[in-house]
Amino acid sequence: MALNLGKAEDVVDEVLRKGKRILPHITRVCLISTFLEDGIRMWVQWSEQREYMDISWGCGWFLATMFVLINFVGQLGGCTMVLLRKHVPIACGILFFIVCLQTVAYSILWDLQFLFRNLALVGALLLVLAESREDEGRGLFAGLPSVGENKPKNYLQLAGRILVVFMFATLLRLEISFMQILQNIVGSVLMVLVTIGYKTKLSASILVVWLLVLNFWMNAWWTIPAYKPMRDFLKYDFFQTLSVIGGLLMVVTQGPGGVSMDEHKKKW
């Protein structure tokens, strides 16, 4: 068993080595995909979104328009900064504000499934923020030896790992079937491993593959006719899940950070 795990970890390391140039870009595109899609949707469905907010909250034309405008500009602007790696902490702050704003505006706070998914999005943003701290450190102290652990970065990675796995809590079902029970057990084990940072790259890689397959299977929005409302729901779920996949890919490429069992094992 240990030998098989070792071989699997070697495969992950080989994939990371060969994809070291392209994987960071794929990771970032996945991470911002839900914000990018939602920002574009705000523009394409400008009138519908404004009308929905006005009817839901009775806030009037002006405030409803401001809500749509903030979501449109904030999400596309934040995505651009993340992709260009410019002012990433500010970009993460903007996107975090958008997540909080939508959580309240769409009453997600009272829907556990959507709330857990939004928490997973926050976790992905924290991982982007952690990576930006590493980039800043390299820029400021390039060529100098490390003078100690980057504790803020380590804690950001820990919080990001914990929140990202909330996505998988939405996949657990209380159904009496072999496949569902197996999915619950395997998913729960992998969630715990990623959370505590043990065999992290391997566990996160398995979750990436698993979530990717489920996403294309369960959220195939392109198979639904454009006039059906279900298309928008599936499309939203698809890109939100893709962002969490990006967060997990960042765990794979960046590692679990200092606050993890993998890191402590190196000191034993």
- Does 99 reside within a domain? yes
Measured between alpha carbons, how far is 33 from 246 in angstroms, rounded to an integer?
9
What does the pLDDT profile of the chain (268 residues) look like in tens digits? 555 677 888 888 888 888 888 998 899 999 999 999 999 999 999 999 999 999 989 989 999 999 999 999 999 999 999 999 999 999 999 999 999 999 999 888 788 888 888 998 999 999 999 888 765 544 443 443 444 456 788 888 889 998 988 877 777 766 677 777 887 888 888 888 888 988 889 999 998 998 899 889 989 999 999 889 899 889 988 998 899 899 889 899 888 888 888 887 766 5
At 183 the pLDDT is 78
- Does 141 reside within a domain? no
pTM metric for this prediction:
0.84
- Does 15 reside within a domain? yes
At 39 the pLDDT is 95
- Does 236 reside within a domain? yes
Contact 156, 129 (CB under 8 A): yes
- Does 142 reside within a domain? no
At 79 the pLDDT is 95
- Does 200 reside within a domain? yes
At 3 the pLDDT is 54
As for how many domains the chain has, the answer is 1
Q: Which domain holds residue 213?
A: 2-135+149-263
- Does 143 reside within a domain? no
At 89 the pLDDT is 94
Handedness of CA 186, 215, 163, 161 (dihedral sign): positive
- Does 162 reside within a domain? yes
Contact 257, 157 (CB under 8 A): yes
Gyration radius (Cα) of the chain, Å: 20
Q: Which residue's entry shows tokens 């657990």?
A: 172
At 152 the pLDDT is 83
Q: Which residue's entry shows tokens 């902490």?
A: 89
At 17 the pLDDT is 87
At 150 the pLDDT is 61
**3 state SS of 256:** coil
